[in-house]
């Protein structure tokens, strides 16, 4: 017997691909990646975006998510790609989707896909960690001890049990400073700026906090407020993280728009920090 085939015509091919940068702000930092997926697909329908769909018995919109931040952390630099059956102006599409999402889930940038390798450009992340109740000087001493260590072993519970790994090796830059007071009568608190290389296993901000506790007994009295400020290419010399959408933006200005973008531009195999349709890392 022949293999079953879905009824009806095949889905329309992708005529354009758009890369979007979005932010998770305020209370929406507690939105899980799965919750964001549902909200974003509703926003696509609400904004009447001409989405391309996968083939098969359960077609789904072609959306690829890249290296999502863990639940509970804010972010100014989350990335995804969508495939459209009809070309659209990226900025107009960005504004429509932004209006269709809840406040706090904000679409802040959009560019037509003109280059491959977005996954390869997500090499590192820059994080901000606010530590209420921690004296900035104490945080500075803890940072110095952490950076002076050759390795810092931390443990994290995973679905396969407790795993130990080195949190120091992936840290490119770690600095302590003083955050301004949130209001009258509120004391200033320590703030950390962290640049961490995307590695396997992934080193997260909470792993670095565990390392600071292990090397210098730094234990914030309340959970840190963590925000990803950027993710993208890593400048090894300066430790800066650069915008991964720049190559697409430069390619758009250098050539006229095209009706279609090759599928290979976004279909990179999933890996640590990679792009995978309908999923994200946590």
Q: What is the pLDDT along the chain (282 residues), one digit of tens a residue?
A: 556 666 667 778 999 999 999 999 999 999 999 999 999 999 999 999 999 998 877 888 999 999 999 999 999 999 999 999 999 999 999 999 999 999 999 999 999 999 998 989 999 999 999 999 999 999 999 999 999 999 999 998 888 888 899 999 999 999 999 987 666 667 778 999 999 999 988 999 999 999 999 999 999 999 999 999 999 999 988 999 999 999 999 998 876 655 444 433 333 333 333 443 444 433
Residue spans per domain, the chain: 16-119+244-277, 124-234
* CATH code of domain 16-119+244-277: 3.30.70.580
Measure Cα distances from 189 to 20, 29, 127, 178 in Å: 33, 21, 16, 6
Beta bridge partners of 191: 130, 177
Same fold, 16-119+244-277 and 124-234: yes
Residues whose CB is less than 8 angstroms from the CB of residue 66 and which lie 6 or more positions away in sequence, other chains included: 78, 79, 80, 81, 118, 119, 122, 273, 274, 275, 280
Count Cα neighbours of 27 within 13 Å in the Cβ-side half-sphere: 2
Whether residue 28 contacts residue 107, with contact meaning beta carbons closer than 8 Å, is answered with no
Instruction: Tell the CATH topology of 124-234.
Output: Alpha-Beta Plaits (3.30.70)
């Amino acid at each position: 017997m022949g293999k079953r085939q879905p009824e009806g015509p095949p889905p329309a091919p992708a005529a354009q691909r758009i890369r979007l940068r979005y932010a998770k702000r305020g209370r929406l930092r507690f939105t899980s990646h799965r919750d964001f997926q549902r909200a974003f697909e509703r926003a696509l329908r609400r904004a009447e975006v001409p989405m391309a769909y996968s083939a098969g018995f359960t077609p789904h919109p072609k959306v690829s998510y890249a290296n999502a931040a863990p639940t509970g952390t804010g972010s100014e630099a989350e990335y995804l790609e969508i495939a459209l059956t009809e070309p659209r102006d990226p900025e107009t599409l960005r504004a429509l989707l932004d209006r269709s999402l809840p406040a706090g889930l904000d679409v802040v940038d959009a560019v037509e896909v003109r280059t491959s390798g977005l996954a390869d450009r997500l090499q590192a992340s820059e994080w901000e960690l606010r530590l209420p109740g921690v004296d900035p000087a104490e945080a500075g001493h803890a940072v110095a001890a952490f950076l002076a260590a050759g390795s810092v072993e931390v443990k994290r519970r995973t679905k396969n049990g407790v795993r130990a790994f080195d949190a120091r090796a992936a840290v490119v830059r770690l600095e302590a400073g003083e955050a301004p007071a949130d209001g009258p009568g509120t004391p200033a608190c320590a703030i950390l700026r962290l640049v961490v290389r995307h590695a396997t296993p992934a080193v997260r901000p909470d792993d670095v906090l565990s390392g600071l506790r292990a090397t210098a007994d730094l234990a914030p009295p309340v959970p840190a407020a963590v925000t990803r400020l950027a993710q993208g290419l890593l400048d090894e010399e300066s430790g800066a993280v650069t915008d991964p959408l720049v190559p697409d933006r430069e390619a758009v200005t250098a050539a006229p728009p095209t009706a279609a973008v090759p599928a290979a531009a976004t279909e990179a195999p999933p890996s640590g920090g990679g792009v995978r349709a309908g999923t994200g890392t946590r």
